[in-house]
Amino acid sequence: MRAHAFAPLALAALIAGCGVASPVQQGAGSRMAVRARATAAFVDLQGAPVSLDRFAGQPVVLSFLAPADGDSQAQLPLLIRLAGAYQAEGVVFVVAGEEASLAQLREFKQAHELTIPVWQDKGGAELASRGFGSVPAHQFIDRTGHVAANREGFQSRGQLLEQIEAIRK
């Protein structure tokens, strides 16, 4: 896991009330009463603005990864398998590429044969505004649009499953 230059901005975002819960690591049984930010600084692989609005009413696993980061590379196979396993249940997985150009992200998506959405988090703005300081980072959003948990760093299969089970109910 690497430190991120936007960490000071994350604190400012929390103070300003940007819809991010603190601390980043929430206990397994805790429920965060924070609504996930639907509007975002994300763009799709064609450069068009996108947001989480399109997944209203569905549980979402938003994973911030950097294609060149070792922990992100290690996290990806788990996310791919879980996305396939939970697709029929309506759980949406989104990869937000951080520190990568659109061309790099298109190549990343093709190389890994990703069928899940891959968006660009230009400049790491969303990563920071959601209270994260490094990648990989994951935000688990339930069907009502509330953030159920934030997890920073590589997550084991068991850790991911625990959070997915909590949001899919």
- Rounded Cα–Cα distance for residues 84 and 82 (Å): 5
Does residue 6 surpass a pLDDT of 70? no
**Residue 102 burial class via C-beta count within 10 angstroms: exposed 0-12, middle 13-18, buried 19 and up:** middle
Does residue 11 surpass a pLDDT of 90? no
Q: Which CATH class name applies to 65-169?
A: alpha beta
CB atoms within 10 A of CB 159: 16
- Rounded Cα–Cα distance for residues 36 and 96 (Å): 15
Answer for the pair 78, 155: CB distance below 8 angstroms, yes or no. yes
Tens of pLDDT, residue by residue over 115-158, are 999 999 988 999 999 999 999 999 999 999 999 999 999 999 99
Does residue 51 surpass a pLDDT of 80? yes
Tens of pLDDT, residue by residue over 77-110, are 999 999 999 999 999 999 999 889 999 999 999 9
Looking at the chain, the whole-number percentage of residues with pLDDT higher than 90 is 72
Q: Which residues contact 81 (CB under 8 A, 6 or more apart)?
A: none
Domain parsing of the chain, residue ranges: 65-169
**What's the pTM value of the predicted model, to 2 decimals?**
0.79
- Helix pair angle (70-86, 157-168), 10° resolution: 40
